[in-house]
């Protein structure tokens, strides 16, 4: 096999990590592949003064790599969805394979990109786009190929997981932990994508397409962040035997698919409830294998570089083969990916945690349970707490049975309209992960 020439676009955290790992483990990679991976060209807005560029071309214009006839694989690590999209499509047009860590690019423009790649007979690989160093893409695409996947559930944003872990373990507020997350480099200066669930939704769109063989449906994912989670809800969840996690959930429901990202109460004894800090984990339920879990670092220079280089090596192994002999990016040829109906969040069936602030007078619970019973909702558990700040009000914590969400919302509207309740009701969905 000939040596494989790669060009890296972007010298941020992942770009630098990829170069470092390639250099450090070059001989091991060569022994495994039977060929050498050669860094031939780098594209970056800033000159890498701390790298030895001997024998490596450098351009501030990343499109020079897409046009370089020597390059076999373009590695896109610049981020964003505008320049990156044009760059990837240009590389495909020029017959180059592509490796990317860009989850937003794949989730939002994957349909166009993979269709173009299939027509051109090249591969677009994206292991690093989901869960950093965890090889979840390969697991879904290849390791679980014999299975009908029933559901995928993941902690796929380390920033949100770190914040919720600190809130639980140290009784800290969301703003307090977010400030620390920024100082530690876990959160960006503008953390919106992380704490509002957009980053997790990008990743869930990719996982769902891999699991169920459908086209990307990012714009139909229900997305809710963690900014409204309060320490008291974390504490009440603990008392009830639950842990609050921010999850991405993709589940088959007959002919439809649930796609949702939001905070969830899950039983403390479940494996994924014990994934803490900035770590990621993905649970997959297949009809043949049952539940399997994949755990590891979801970000960072070298964990993500591990996934990037894995993709480079996969392409190198098959670079001389015919396109039809290669494993399709999703385990399906693009034309075999299906359009599916996404179940609206109002039709999703879950249990619910509700925190109600009510007057401390006789008959309150009767009125609340009446509103629930009118929507055929039963209560599984209840806790009554009296906040020190308001002696005439009590906190009622309710766990409901599994119910279609629109009925829960209808009951909440009725309860909030009662003359014995105060303010908005806090609702968090509950999942048993059975």
Catalytic residues: 203
Distance between CA 42 and CA 63 in Å, rounded? 11
The answer to whether the CB of 76 falls within 8 A of the CB of 102 is: yes
Candidates 422, 150, 386; CA nearest to 287 is 150
Three-class HEC string of the chain = CCCEEEEEECCCHHHHHHHHHHHHCHHHHHHHHCCCEEEEEEECCCCCCCCCCCCCEEECCCHHHHCCCCCCEEEECCCCCCHHHHHHHHHHHCCCEEEECCHHHHHHHHHHHHHHHHHHCCCEECHHHCCCCCCHHHHHHHHCCCCCEEEEEEECCHHHHHHHHHHHHHCCCHHHHHHHHHHCCCCCCCCHHHHCCHHHHHHHHHHHHHHHCECCCHHHCEECCCCCCCHHHHHHHHHCCEEEEEEEEEEEECCEEEEEEEEEEEECCCHHHHCCCCEEEEEEEECCCEEEEEEEECCCHHHHHHHHHHHHHHHHHHCCCCHHHCCCCCCCCHHHCECCEECCHHHCEEEEEEEEEEECCCCHHHHHHHHHHCCCCCEEEEEEECCCCCCCEEEEEEEECCEEHHHHHHHHHHHHCCCCEEEEEEEEEECCCC
Please say whether the beta carbons of 28 and 63 come within 8 A.
no
Return the structure tokens found at 369: 């349970």
């Amino acid at each position: 096999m000939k040596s494989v020439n790669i060009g890296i676009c972007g010298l941020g955290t992942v770009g630098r990590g990829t170069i470092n790992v390639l250099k450090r483990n070059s001989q091991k990679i060569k022994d495994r592949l039977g060929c050498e991976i050669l860094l031939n060209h780098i594209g970056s807005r800033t000159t890498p003064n701390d790298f030895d560029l001997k024998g490596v071309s450098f351009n501030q214009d990343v499109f020079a790599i897409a046009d370089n006839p020597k390059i076999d694989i373009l590695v896109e690590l610049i981020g964003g969805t505008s320049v990156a999209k044009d760059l990837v499509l240009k590389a495909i047009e020029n017959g180059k394979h592509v490796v990317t860590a860009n989850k937003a690019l794949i989730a939002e423009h994957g349909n166009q990109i993979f269709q173009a790649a299939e027509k051109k007979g090249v591969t677009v690989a994206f292991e690093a786009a989901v869960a950093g160093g965890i090889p979840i893409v390969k697991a879904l695409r290849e390791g679980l190929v014999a299975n009908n996947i029933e559901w995928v559930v993941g902690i796929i944003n380390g920033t949100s997981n770190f914040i919720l872990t600190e809130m639980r373990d140290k009784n800290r507020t969301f703003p307090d932990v977010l400030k620390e997350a920024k100082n530690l480099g876990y959160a960006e200066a503008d953390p919106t994508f992380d704490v509002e669930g957009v980053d997790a939704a990008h990743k869930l769109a990719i996982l769902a397409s891999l699991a169920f063989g459908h086209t990307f449906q990012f714009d139909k994912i229900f997305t809710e962040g963690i900014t409204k989670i309060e320490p008291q809800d974390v504490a009440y969840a603990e008392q009830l035997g639950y842990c609050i996690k921010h999850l991405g959930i993709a589940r088959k429901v007959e002919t439809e698919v649930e796609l949702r990202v939001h905070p969830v109460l899950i039983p403390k004894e479940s494996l994924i409830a014990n994934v803490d800090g900035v770590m990621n984990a993905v649970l997959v339920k297949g009809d043949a294998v049952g539940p399997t879990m994949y755990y590891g670092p979801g970000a960072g220079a070298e964990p993500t570089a591990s996934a990037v280089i894995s993709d480079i090596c996969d392409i190198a192994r098959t670079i001389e083969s015919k396109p039809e002999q290669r494993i399709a990016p999703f385990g399906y040829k693009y034309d075999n990916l299906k359009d599916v109906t996404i179940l609206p969040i109002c039709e999703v069936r879950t249990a619910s945690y509700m925190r109600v602030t009510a007057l401390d007078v006789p008959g309150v619970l009767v009125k609340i349970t009446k509103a629930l019973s009118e929507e055929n909702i039963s209560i599984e558990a209840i806790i009554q707490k009296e906040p020190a700040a308001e002696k005439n009000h009590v906190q009622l914590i309710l766990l409901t049975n599994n119910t279609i969400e629109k009925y829960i919302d209808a009951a909440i509207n009725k309860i909030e309209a009662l003359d014995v309740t105060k303010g908005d009701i806090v609702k968090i969905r509950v999942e048993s992960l059975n």
